[in-house]
Amino acid sequence: MTRREVECSAPVNIALIKYWGKRDENLILPLNSSLSITLDQEELCTTNYVYTDTAISQDSLTINGLPHSLDTPRYLSCLQTLRQLSGRHERVWIESTNNFPTAAGLASSAAGFACLVYSLAQLFQLDCELSAIARRGSGSACRSMYGGFVEWKRGVLSNGEDSIAYQVFSEDYWPELQVLILVVSDQKKSVSSSHGMQRSVKTSPLINTRAESIVPERIQLIKTAISERNFESLAKLTMMDSNQFHAICMDTLPPLFYLNEVSHKIINMVHRYNEQCSEVRLGYTFDAGPNACLLVQKQHVKQVLAIIHYLFPTSNEDKFVIGKSNSVSPTDLPAFVSSLGVTPHKDGIKYVIHTAIGTGPKLLKKNL
């Protein structure tokens, strides 16, 4: 009864050029390529402890201590493929935990499936391209298989073999680039990404123009922006693509509303701040929910945190900022804050996570 075990972690990623719409629902093949940054696991990650021994007679999964079914097409697809490729068929026990509050409304499925696929591949000693397997669990999970700046190539094959992720630039390429996640209060239950994108593909007359004519060029432009470490260009393309994704949601019938009035206020704040600075110092991107993800360079983080704290006064003073910063100083507030034209909104933001770009999945421990 020898126990074989591994412990691994995998990161969250946030798309700068968005994935929205599948051309194949079963294989999870996207309408367009997408490009993301992988976030530092210090602040956000999933950790899996996975083991197998002769006493285990069926696969089990717990997420944050609670039992979770593995009997869904997405889990089954990942498990089957890993077993086929490795030739290992023992049953597995998986304990998965997130180091961030699940109530935060932060998409955890990308990190979750990336961690599942990576940890089982370690357990089964499988050494091959894993992003296409993670993709079958959750499309965006394939991008969490690498650190740094990652592209998920759309691919052209109908079997999906070439719809894989790869690292465009490593996690050390642009260390000044920082990320602030603004967790917005009063999250309403909204249509899941998966159902939402199905509805968009069926009903939005604009989605194909986006996928075919706009995204391919944007991917090229944003890679150039990253290669030149051109913050202005990166932030602008990111904001435009976030807005276009939400435009497609609006062009859907019934329309999908993921942004709320606090999100609108954050967007206005970013544009007004950039205007006041006469340069682009801040960018935003929003996934299928009201939380904002801001891009900012290291030298402006303190000022931006002070502005956020001023415009969104908090009852959660102690833990308003967590991660790489953990405090806000009113002395960092610029004089022009009052001319931003944004009315303060008490407790509109629950808290802010200060993070940065990080590595791909990690093997923390193994005993094979």
> Binding residues for a second copy, per CB under 8 A?
203, 205-206, 209-210, 213-214, 236, 239-240, 243-244, 246-255, 257, 260-261, 264, 267-268, 271
Helices (H), 53-108: 73-86
Residue closer to a second copy (CB basis): 178 or 252: 252
Residues 34-66: b if buried by 16+ CB within 10 A, e if exposed = bbbbbbbbebbbbbbbbbbeeeeeebebebeee
Provide the terminal-to-terminal Cα distance of the chain, rounded to the nearest Å. Answer: 13
Q: Say how far apart CA 252 and CA 262 lie, in whole Å.
A: 22
Q: Rounded to the nearest whole angstrom, what is the least distance from the CB of residue 250 to a second copy in the complex?
A: 4
Using CB atoms within 10 Å of the CB of residue 76, give its burial: 0 to 12 exposed, 13 to 18 middle, 19+ buried.
middle
Q: What angle do CA 12, 314, 46 make, to 5 degrees?
A: 15
Residue closer to a second copy (CB basis): 97 or 187: 187
Residue closer to a second copy (CB basis): 165 or 269: 269
Question: How far is the CA of 237 from the CAs of 16, 107, 233, 262, in angstroms?
Answer: 8, 22, 6, 22
Comparing CA positions, the residue from 290, 203, 289 lying closest to residue 248 is 203
Q: Tokens 């593909």: give the residue.
A: 201
Q: Rounded to the nearest whole angstrom, what is the least distance from the CB of residue 253 to a second copy in the complex?
A: 6
Q: Say how far apart CA 323 and CA 77 lie, in whole Å.
A: 35
Q: Say how far apart CA 15 and CA 22 lie, in whole Å.
A: 16
Residue closer to a second copy (CB basis): 206 or 322: 206
Q: Rounded to the nearest whole angstrom, what is the least distance from the CB of residue 106 to a second copy in the complex?
A: 22
Using CB atoms within 10 Å of the CB of residue 233, give its burial: 0 to 12 exposed, 13 to 18 middle, 19+ buried.
middle
Q: Rounded to the nearest whole angstrom, what is the least distance from the CB of residue 248 to a second copy in the complex?
A: 7
The three-class DSSP label of residue 60 is strand
On whether the CB atoms of residues 320 and 330 are closer than 8 A, the answer is no
Q: Rounded to the nearest whole angstrom, what is the least distance from the CB of residue 98 to a second copy in the complex?
A: 29
On whether the CB atoms of residues 250 and 203 are closer than 8 A, the answer is no
Q: Rounded to the nearest whole angstrom, what is the least distance from the CB of residue 309 to a second copy in the complex?
A: 23
Q: Rounded to the nearest whole angstrom, what is the least distance from the CB of residue 185 to a second copy in the complex?
A: 14
Residue closer to a second copy (CB basis): 271 or 366: 271
Residue closer to a second copy (CB basis): 100 or 286: 286
Residue closer to a second copy (CB basis): 8 or 249: 249
Q: Say how far apart CA 55 and CA 188 lie, in whole Å.
A: 43
Residue closer to a second copy (CB basis): 110 or 248: 248
Q: Rounded to the nearest whole angstrom, what is the least distance from the CB of residue 246 to a second copy in the complex?
A: 5
